């Protein structure tokens, strides 16, 4: 049971396609297991201007850990309580301060015991002569720290359990909102956010999602010792937006590419706000609420709560960050020679003139300053000084995958696409 060498078994990240084929067979045999159901969701129309209460995603891994799995071994379990320190715990089990010192100085890994958190468990092995012989400390569902007495010192080691990954599928058709369809398809908040971020350079999830849009995706389920511990990466996904199909495949570098091997990541995000916050739709012939006449509207308005972070659509330089009575607090960004983006009506600005900004960086907070009746972000996209629709404008081409990797990627892409198609057929057959 005691390990004094470090076992490092890497996560089995990709299944061979043979194994994937096997999973598909299993899914065909037991269609109610393993398949994350896609259902037609009820019609619930989005009303412009209404604030929708969507659940906020929780960040971090969907990993749960069950310390009970250590029951039945010859260790005494100590549940860490508020105010507990390693010294206190060991002392409560009859160990001297010297033992605490030996334990906490038995290598870099043992330093983790200095930051015990409430609710964690520490397992102690104490022999008949009251000598502490071993400590076991589960760090996560996959990692356990062991400290083993070796005469007058302790040797630390970390046991790493292999994580097995299986591929599961989800599919959905949007009738009310993307978030709703994601929940209906059985996706966690994190997976819905991940799916949107994979396509965030192609699709404006805040404004351009329509009833009838659909998605189909393959992602990992992670297991340790046969127990489900959480979800892994999305390995492939397809999104149909207003009739256009976008497909992304994850490569071994962790990045997503089109089936032709172009990066999904591009120079400009489609929307400078996170879709979770936005509740209204774009009306190209809107009646300007202040000036009481039809005004050519040269941008996109995102209606969301005051304080919603607004992101730089691309890397660039802030050429203006100011206030005036029409535009309120506003920020203009220059991207290379040809492109400019403008953001108006901020509650407050988060950058100043001359700043260099990165894509996705918060540049201000949505507000209602200037000539407006309600809080919104007014966003403009200019090419060579001319206003363009950010949805339809021709943008710089995305970077292709490294030439050396291309053949390998293309064959992976072909197989992954087949997998997604097969899933679509299975889902159709089930409905
Ligand atoms: Zn506007």
Question: Which tens digit of pLDDT belongs to each residue from 289-300?
Answer: 444 444 556 888
* pLDDT for 431 beyond 90: no
- Report the pLDDT value the prediction gives residue 184, as an integer from 0 to 100: 94
**Chain segment 63-80, per-residue pLDDT in tens:** 444 444 443 348 999 999
- Report the pLDDT value the prediction gives residue 21, as an integer from 0 to 100: 44
* pLDDT for 319 beyond 90: yes
For the ranges 88-92, 168-172, 280-284, 330-334, the lowest mean pLDDT is seen at: 280-284
Sheet containing strand 227-241, edge to edge, reads 164-173, 214-224, 227-241, 244-250, 256-257
In angstroms, rounded to a whole number, what is the distance separating the alpha carbons of residues 140 and 231? 15
Instruction: Compute how many other C-beta atoms are within 10 angstroms of the C-beta atom of residue 334.
Output: 15
- Report the pLDDT value the prediction gives residue 394, as an integer from 0 to 100: 78
Strand partners, 136: 123, 146
pLDDT band at 393 (very low <50, low <70, confident <90, very high): confident
- For residue 43, the CA-to-ligand 1 centroid distance in Å is 29
- For residue 376, the CA-to-ligand 1 centroid distance in Å is 8
Strands 143-150 and 244-250: unpaired
In angstroms, rounded to a whole number, what is the distance separating the alpha carbons of residues 324 and 342? 14
* Residue 216 CA: distances (Å) to CA of 50, 240, 279, 428: 29, 9, 24, 12
- For residue 362, the CA-to-ligand 1 centroid distance in Å is 20
pLDDT band at 249 (very low <50, low <70, confident <90, very high): very high
- For residue 214, the CA-to-ligand 1 centroid distance in Å is 29
Q: Average model confidence (pLDDT) for the chain?
A: 81
- For residue 197, the CA-to-ligand 1 centroid distance in Å is 25
pLDDT band at 84 (very low <50, low <70, confident <90, very high): very high
**Chain segment 131-147, per-residue pLDDT in tens:** 999 999 999 888 999 99
Q: CA-based angle 224:225:226, to the nearest 5? A: 90
DSSP state of 263: B
- For residue 245, the CA-to-ligand 1 centroid distance in Å is 29
- Report the pLDDT value the prediction gives residue 417, as an integer from 0 to 100: 93
* pLDDT for 53 beyond 80: no
Residue closest to 88 by CA, chosen among 129, 118, 133, 128: 118
Of residues 345 and 395, more confidence is placed in: 345
Residue closest to 220 by CA, chosen among 142, 167, 163, 141: 167
Residue closest to 202 by CA, chosen among 148, 157, 269: 269
- Report the pLDDT value the prediction gives residue 320, as an integer from 0 to 100: 98
Share above pLDDT 70 across residues of the chain, in percent, rounded to a whole number: 79
- For residue 126, the CA-to-ligand 1 centroid distance in Å is 70
Structural domains in the chain, sorted by start: 67-160 (3.10.450.350), 164-266+401-430 (3.10.450.350), 275-388 (2.70.70.10)
| Averaged pLDDT for residues 208-235 | 94
Residue closest to 184 by CA, chosen among 194, 198, 195, 173: 173
- For residue 395, the CA-to-ligand 1 centroid distance in Å is 22
102-128: b or e for each residue (b if 16 or more CB lie within 10 Å)? Answer: bbbebeebbeebeebeeebbbbbbbee
- Report the pLDDT value the prediction gives residue 39, as an integer from 0 to 100: 31
**Chain segment 21-33, per-residue pLDDT in tens:** 444 444 444 433 3
pLDDT band at 279 (very low <50, low <70, confident <90, very high): low
Q: Are 218 and 419 in contact (CB under 8 A)?
A: yes
- Report the pLDDT value the prediction gives residue 141, as an integer from 0 to 100: 86
Name residues with Cβ closer than 5 Å to ligand 1, which is an ion: 301, 378
| Averaged pLDDT for residues 4-15 | 35
In angstroms, rounded to a whole number, what is the distance separating the alpha carbons of residues 192 and 178? 8
- Report the pLDDT value the prediction gives residue 62, as an integer from 0 to 100: 38
* pLDDT for 51 beyond 60: no
Share above pLDDT 90 across residues of the chain, in percent, rounded to a whole number: 62
Residue closest to 392 by CA, chosen among 268, 291, 306, 292: 268
- For residue 377, the CA-to-ligand 1 centroid distance in Å is 7
- What's the gap between Cα 56 and its chain centre? 12
- Report the pLDDT value the prediction gives residue 22, as an integer from 0 to 100: 45
């Amino acid at each position: 049971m005691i390990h004094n060498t470090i076992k490092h078994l890497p996560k089995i990240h990709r299944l061979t396609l043979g194994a994937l084929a096997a999973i598909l067979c299993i899914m065909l045999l037991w269609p109610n297991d393993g398949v994350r159901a896609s259902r037609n969701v009820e019609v619930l129309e989005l009303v412009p201007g209404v604030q929708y209460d969507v659940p906020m995603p929780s960040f971090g891994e969907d990993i749960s850990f069950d310390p009970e799995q250590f029951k039945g071994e010859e260790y005494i379990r100590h549940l860490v309580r508020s105010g507990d320190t390693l010294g206190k715990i060991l002392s409560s089990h009859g160990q001297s301060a010297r033992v605490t010192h030996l334990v906490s100085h038995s290598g870099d890994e043992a330093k983790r015991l200095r930051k015990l958190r409430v609710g964690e468990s520490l397992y102690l092995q104490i022999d008949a002569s009251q000598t502490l012989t071993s400590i076991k400390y589960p760090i996560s569902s996959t990692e356990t720290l062991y400290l083993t007495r070796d005469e007058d010192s302790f040797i630390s080691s970390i046991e790493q359990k292999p994580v097995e990954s299986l591929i599961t599928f989800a599919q959905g058709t949007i009738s009310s909102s993307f978030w709703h369809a994601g929940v209906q398809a059985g996706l966690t908040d994190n997976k819905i956010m991940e799916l949107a971020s994979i396509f965030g350079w192609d699709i404006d999830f805040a404004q351009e999602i329509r009833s009838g849009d659909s998605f189909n995706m393959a992602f990992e389920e992670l297991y340790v010792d046969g127990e489900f511990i959480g979800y892994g990466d999305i390995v492939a996904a397809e999104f149909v937006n207003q009739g256009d199909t976008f497909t992304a495949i994850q490569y071994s570098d962790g990045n997503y590419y089109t089936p032709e091997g172009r990066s999904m990541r591009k120079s400009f995000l489609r929307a400078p706000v996170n879709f979770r916050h936005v509740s209204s739709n774009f009306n190209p012939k809107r009646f300007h609420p202040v000036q009481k006449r039809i005004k050519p509207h040269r941008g996109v308005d995102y209606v969301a709560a005051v304080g919603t972070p607004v992101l730089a659509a691309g890397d660039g330089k802030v050429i203006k960050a100011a206030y005036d009575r029409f535009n309120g607090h506003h920020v203009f960004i220059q991207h290379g020679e040809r492109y400019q983006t403008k953001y108006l009506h901020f509650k407050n600005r988060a950058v100043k003139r001359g700043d260099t900004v990165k894509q996705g960086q918060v540049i201000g907070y949505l507000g209602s300053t200037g000539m407006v009746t309600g809080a919104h972000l007014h966003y403009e996209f200019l090419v060579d000084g001319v206003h363009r629709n950010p949805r339809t404008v021709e943008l710089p081409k995305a970077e292709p995958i490294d030439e050396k990797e291309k053949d390998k990627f293309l064959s992976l892409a072909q197989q992954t696409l087949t997998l997604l198609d097969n899933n679509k057929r299975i889902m159709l057959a089930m409905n």
